[in-house]
Structure 1
Amino acid sequence: MILIVDDDQDIRDSLTDLFGSVGMQTTAYGSTNEMLGGTLPDGPTCLVLDLRLPGSSGLELQAQLASQGVDIPIIFITGHADVPTSVRAMKAGALDFLSKPFREQELLDAVTDALRRDGERRSAQRERDWVRQLAQELTTREIDVLKGVARGLLNKQIAYELGITEVTVKMHRSSAGKKLKSISVADMVRKIDLLGL
């Protein structure tokens, strides 16, 4: 889904037609308040945002979304580009900053890249959430053992550090692996990394 925020109706219509011509869905808004009053999509999304808008500017909307923890890739479009403003937008996380008039293919490429990145981010977030849910079943001792695994320690080293036997470490490690649905040591280490252990 591509969200378009521009106060010029002709530009909104033009962008809607452009994205529609390549099979992309859009929702267009005339102001930042109008967009904030809507519902954000629950799939890969990109925000094509005019820099200068009545009321809140595009930069203010970018800051507001960031403060709310809304992580949507943003591509700024503007007829009033200047270097300090574009640098500010990019430092705040914008993916691209295009000056009007821009080439249609340039915008399509930027949006396609943004949608791909957002899809990957959402997929990674779903996996992190799933692993965190699995980790709720872990005991304190299993977490201690996993922390040793994350540091690359051998079972006997983990046993020494925790003051338990190597057999007990193996038991906790095996149990933790089952709870995390780990299919290999590499998969377990990746999941430990996702948990931030």
Structure 2
Amino acid sequence: MSDVAPVVFVVDDDISVRQALQNLFRSVGLKVEAFSNAQEFLTCNRPDAPGCLVLDVRLPGPSGIDLQRQLTGSGKQLPIIFITGHGDIRMSVLAMKAGAFEFLTKPFRDQELLDAVQGALERDRGERTSRSEAALARNRYESLTSREQEVFSLVVRGLLNKQVGGELNISEATVKLHRGNLMQRCRRSRLPISSVRQKSWIC
């Protein structure tokens, strides 16, 4: 996943702004896709790659804030950098509370925007990695037997073998056997037990 080139999405109804932003991002080697309104962006075939959204607040039809809400509600959130020539404190507070990565008021320096984009891409890379690890951890957990799941759930809570045995009414030797099998599976998948310690789907 880390080898996939990131994509910067731009949504701005001003064609001159779109072109300027495309030129800026391409000048530093970033792939960019630009749209004139929220609907165009929503209907595009987004690649499975790290990305961020540079979004104008004021758009024809649904506003940038509306688009942010829709993405959040659909679970397709990207780190969003809002840009606007009409920004005010209330608008920026609303955007940031809703999870925006940054809120820039025009005019802004090119480097200021590039820094924000790089930060947003790094965040998205990290979140994608976390989601991938969580999916792998869940698949591994669901492949365990019922007894192994019971042992595993207690192990990740920090219980010792003797305590696990007491909770499940099995011998400490049996716990060690199950625990050894679990460790082997984790090593084969290169998935440390610590990576699933905080997963809410483990009872």
TM-score by length of structure 1 reads 0.94
Q: Which runs of 4+ in 1 moved over 6 A?
A: none
User: Post-superposition shift, 1:151?
Assistant: 1.9
Structure 2 matches for 1:152-191, cutoff 5 A?
152-181=158-187, 187-191=192-196
Structure 2 matches for 1:18-57, cutoff 5 A?
18-57=24-63
SS in 2 for 1:180: helix
User: Post-superposition shift, 1:160?
Assistant: 0.8
2:87 maps to a residue whose letter is A
Paired with 1:167 and 1:126, the residues of 2 have a C-alpha distance of: 34
**Residues 41-67 of structure 1, C-alpha deviations (whole Å, 9 max, x = no match):** 211101000000000000000000111
Question: What is the aligned partner in structure 2 of residue 97 from structure 1?
Answer: 103
Paired with 1:52 and 1:6, the residues of 2 have a C-alpha distance of: 8
1:63 maps to a residue whose letter is R
1:78 maps to a residue whose letter is T
Structure 2 matches for 1:130-145, cutoff 5 A?
130-145=136-151
SS in 2 for 1:75: strand
Paired with 1:62 and 1:39, the residues of 2 have a C-alpha distance of: 18
Structure 2 matches for 1:2-151, cutoff 5 A?
2-151=8-157
Paired with 1:140 and 1:120, the residues of 2 have a C-alpha distance of: 32
**Residues 77-110 of structure 1, C-alpha deviations (whole Å, 9 max, x = no match):** 0011111110010010000000011111000000
Q: In the alignment, is the contact (CA less than 8 A) between 2:133 and 2:195 conserved in 1?
A: no
1:149 maps to a residue whose letter is V
Paired with 1:69 and 1:179, the residues of 2 have a C-alpha distance of: 31
Further displaced range: 18-27 or 173-182: 173-182
User: Post-superposition shift, 1:191?
Assistant: 3.0
User: Post-superposition shift, 1:129?
Assistant: 1.3
Paired with 2:135 and 2:189, the residues of 1 have a C-alpha distance of: 18
Paired with 2:59 and 2:28, the residues of 1 have a C-alpha distance of: 27
Number of residue pairs the alignment of both structures matches: 196
Quote the RMSD (CA, aligned, Å). 1.8
Q: In the alignment, is the contact (CA less than 8 A) between 1:44 and 1:122 conserved in 2?
A: yes
1:4 maps to a residue whose letter is V
Paired with 1:91 and 1:85, the residues of 2 have a C-alpha distance of: 10
Q: In the alignment, is the contact (CA less than 8 A) between 1:75 and 1:94 conserved in 2?
A: yes
